[in-house]
């Protein structure tokens, strides 16, 4: 039996409506909820009230809806599965029924290589089970943690997952909740950790029935998505518990090793204890109970080291956080792009500051934000606590056309970018296909109903115009339609590409760099630069890049060349770097 728990603080009664036999409308995806007439013959079971919650136990694989005070039945906000889409009946799932084959073990997520992937486009089948077949590739690459973009049920079959509306469930087109358990089990069998991207800062625009039952939103704060999630207004205790219990469920019942918390700057909370600090303490308790390490990583653009400081020291207690400043500094330095949010980046000294001090905006003025931003990171704070990347779903997919740096950078600079990323003391993250320099794009795609889809497509066009992309795409550029199936299909990885020519060479280069990463002796990092060249000394290794396209001679203490791309030679205290080349020295 599976316990169903409904938080409905204002309700006097609640019923589970058993959707069996299935109405004729359930022949496929539903674009709106089942009507009261369609459900008239369904059995209604009274739920037990305890305080603000109602509970009932149902057999596994039961299709059901929930109703309060004899209102129209709606899907369960804690639904584990939505076989007919976000508007259809929920289905019970017994998370304890799965027979795990791999013993549980602790995984050190921070400090080793993370690999971000999107289940729907990682393989042509777009399922968790098909992704299992590619785990050997990731193991051979040297990856230690797989980061899954959100898997919670979202509208339709195509989407990034950030429009999810059931924070306890798994998207049906990916295979549903048991498929996620199989994936985690298979990953652990390869000694790969799994990090799950979770979104607690908003619900998607379609299929969100949680407010039907409880005060999930507040008008006290606003976010880019509208009214904020209620973390500090009347009734917030139930919302906070809803978030914490969702997070703990992934870590406990699905054996997820880490959670990536999406856009935590949009978790607006003026409570005495911030929701992130509360979550951190609850995860610590779970760690003690299980005897296993579980990791929390925050996506935050606030540039605040407080995010990863202990709660006892006034911090929020999160284990790690994304650091976009390193991405911006390196991308802008190599590509020359200095428009939009790249406006303060591009110079070698800016890249050096990002690598040496973590944040470029560390209390100084941000031109893009038009205000002082961030705070300095203490030298004693481990750089492993900061996740950096040269590509991720945001930095590729939110470009106007979803294009990758490979479309503009020569291969030597692609190789140089990888060397700085992977041989720095931070926690490096790769994005699917990056390791073989795929030319395939990752575009923004959705699968909403016609009305909402039209609004999304038009909104994407308006957003495009505000970012200044015409500087690289030219006037009146083409913008992919998020609703078009072709946009999704163009974003699916071509695995055959990884075995061809220069792509295969780049894949070998990434493998070589990840092996060299094992030779880093400490977190010390120091940078210098000259006319067209940049040098990073990191943990006993030195990376030297020629980025201006002209051969250059650089003074360099006697060193052994461990790896190189392009024309590189060393003679009599001088390192010669050819056009678009990189050398790694000990």
Binding residues for substrate: 260-265, 324-328, 393-398
Kindly report the backbone phi and psi dihedral angles of residue 560, in degrees, each rounded to the nearest multiple of 5, phi listed first.
-95, 135
Which pair of tokens denotes residue 275? 């929701």
Question: How far, in Å, CA of 131 to CA of 417, rounded?
Answer: 27
Per residue in 540-577, is it b (16+ CB within 10 Å) or e — as a string?
A: ebbbbbbbeeeebebebeebeeebbbbebebeeeebbb
Q: Is 43 exposed, middle or buried (0-12, 13-18, 19+ CB in 10 A)?
A: exposed
Whether 494 is catalytic: no
Answer whether 579's CB lies under 8 Å from 546's CB: yes
Which pair of tokens denotes residue 246? 């969702």
Kindly report the backbone phi and psi dihedral angles of residue 271, in degrees, each rounded to the nearest multiple of 5, phi listed first.
-70, 160
Q: Decide the pairing of beta strands 53-58 and 2-7.
A: antiparallel
Answer whether 300's CB lies under 8 Å from 262's CB: no
Catalytic entry in 112, 197, 262, 301 = 262
Q: How many CB atoms lie within 10 A of CB 306?
A: 15
Which pair of tokens denotes residue 514? 């990840």
Kindly report the backbone phi and psi dihedral angles of residue 495, in degrees, each rounded to the nearest multiple of 5, phi listed first.
-70, -25
Catalytic entry in 172, 257, 299, 344 = 299
DSSP β-bridge partners for residue 553: 576
Answer whether 365's CB lies under 8 Å from 372's CB: yes
Answer whether 247's CB lies under 8 Å from 294's CB: no
Helix (H, G, I), strand (E, B) or coil at 550: coil
Q: Decide the pairing of beta strands 114-117 and 145-148.
A: parallel
CA distances for 178 relative to 89, 145, 197, angstroms: 18, 20, 18
Residue closest to 332 by CA, chosen among 283, 368, 284, 362: 368
Whether 356 is catalytic: no
Q: Decide the pairing of beta strands 145-148 and 226-229.
A: unpaired
Answer whether 91's CB lies under 8 Å from 102's CB: no
Q: How many CB atoms lie within 10 A of CB 101?
A: 10
CA distances for 305 relative to 320, 549, 555, angstroms: 10, 37, 36
DSSP β-bridge partners for residue 483: none
Query: Which residues are annotated as catalytic?
Result: 262, 299
């Amino acid at each position: 039996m599976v316990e169903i728990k409904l938080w409905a603080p204002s309700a006097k009664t609640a019923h589970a409506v058993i959707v069996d036999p299935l109405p004729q409308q359930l022949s496929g995806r539903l674009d709106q909820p089942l009507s009261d007439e369609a459900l008239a013959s369904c059995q209604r079971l009274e739920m037990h009230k305890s305080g603000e919650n109602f509970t009932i136990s149902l057999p596994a694989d039961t299709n059901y809806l929930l109703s309060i005070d004899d209102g129209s039945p709606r899907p369960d906000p804690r639904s584990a599965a939505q076989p007919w889409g976000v508007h259809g009946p929920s289905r019970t799932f017994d998370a304890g029924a799965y027979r795990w084959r791999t013993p549980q073990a602790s995984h050190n997520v921070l400090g080793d290589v993370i690999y971000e992937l999107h289940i729907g486009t990682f393989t042509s089948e777009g399922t968790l089970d098909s992704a299992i077949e590619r785990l050997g590739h990731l193991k051979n690459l040297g990856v230690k943690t797989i980061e899954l973009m959100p898997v919670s049920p979202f509208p339709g079959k195509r989407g990034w997952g950030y429009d999810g509306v059931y924070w306890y469930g798994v998207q049906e087109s990916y295979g549903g909740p048991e498929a996620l358990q199989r994936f985690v089990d298979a990953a652990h069998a390869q000694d790969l950790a799994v990090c799950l991207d979770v979104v607690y800062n908003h619900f998607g625009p379609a299929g969100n029935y949680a407010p039907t039952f409880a005060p999930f939103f507040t008008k006290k704060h606003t976010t880019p998505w509208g009214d904020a999630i209620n973390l500090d207004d009347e009734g917030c205790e139930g919302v906070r518990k809803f978030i914490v219990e969702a997070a703990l469920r992934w870590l406990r019942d699905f054996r997820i090793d880490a959670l990536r918390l999406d856009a935590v700057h949009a978790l607006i909370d003026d409570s005495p204890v911030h929701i992130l600090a509360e979550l951190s303490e609850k995860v610590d308790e779970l760690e003690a109970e299980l005897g296993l390490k579980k990791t929390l990583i925050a996506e935050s653009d606030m540039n605040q080291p407080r995010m990863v400081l202990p709660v006892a020291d006034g911090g929020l207690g999160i284990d790690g956080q994304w650091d976009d400043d390193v991405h911006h500094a390196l991308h802008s330095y190599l590509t020359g792009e200095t428009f939009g949010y790249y406006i303060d980046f591009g110079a070698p000294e800016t890249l050096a500051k990002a690598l040496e001090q973590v944040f470029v905006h560390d209390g100084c003025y941000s031109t893009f934000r038009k205000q002082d931003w961030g705070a300095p990171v203490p030298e004693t704070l481990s750089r492993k606590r900061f996740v950096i990347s040269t590509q991720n779903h945001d930095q590729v997919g939110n470009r106007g056309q979803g294009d990758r740096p490979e479309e503009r950078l020569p291969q030597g600079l692609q190789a140089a970018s990888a060397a700085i990323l992977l041989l720095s003391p931070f926690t490096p993250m790769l994005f699917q296909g990056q390791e073989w320099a795929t030319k395939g794009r990752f575009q923004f795609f959705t699968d909403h109903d016609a009305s909402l889809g039209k609004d999304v497509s038009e909104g994407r066009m308006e957003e495009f115009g505000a970012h200044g992309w015409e500087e690289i795409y030219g006037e009146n550029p083409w913008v992919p339609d998020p609703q078009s199936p072709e946009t999704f299909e163009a974003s699916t990885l071509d695995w055959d590409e990884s075995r061809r020519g220069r792509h295969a060479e780049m894949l070998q280069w990434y493998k070589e760099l990840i092996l060299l990463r094992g030779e880093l002796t400490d977190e010390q990092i120091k940078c210098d630069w000259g006319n067209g060249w940049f040098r990073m000394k990191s943990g006993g290794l030195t990376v030297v890049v020629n980025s201006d396209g002209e051969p250059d001679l650089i003074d360099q203490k006697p060193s052994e060349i461990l790896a190189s791309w392009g024309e590189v030679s060393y003679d009599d205290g001088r390192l010669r770097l050819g056009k678009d080349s990189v050398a790694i020295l000990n």
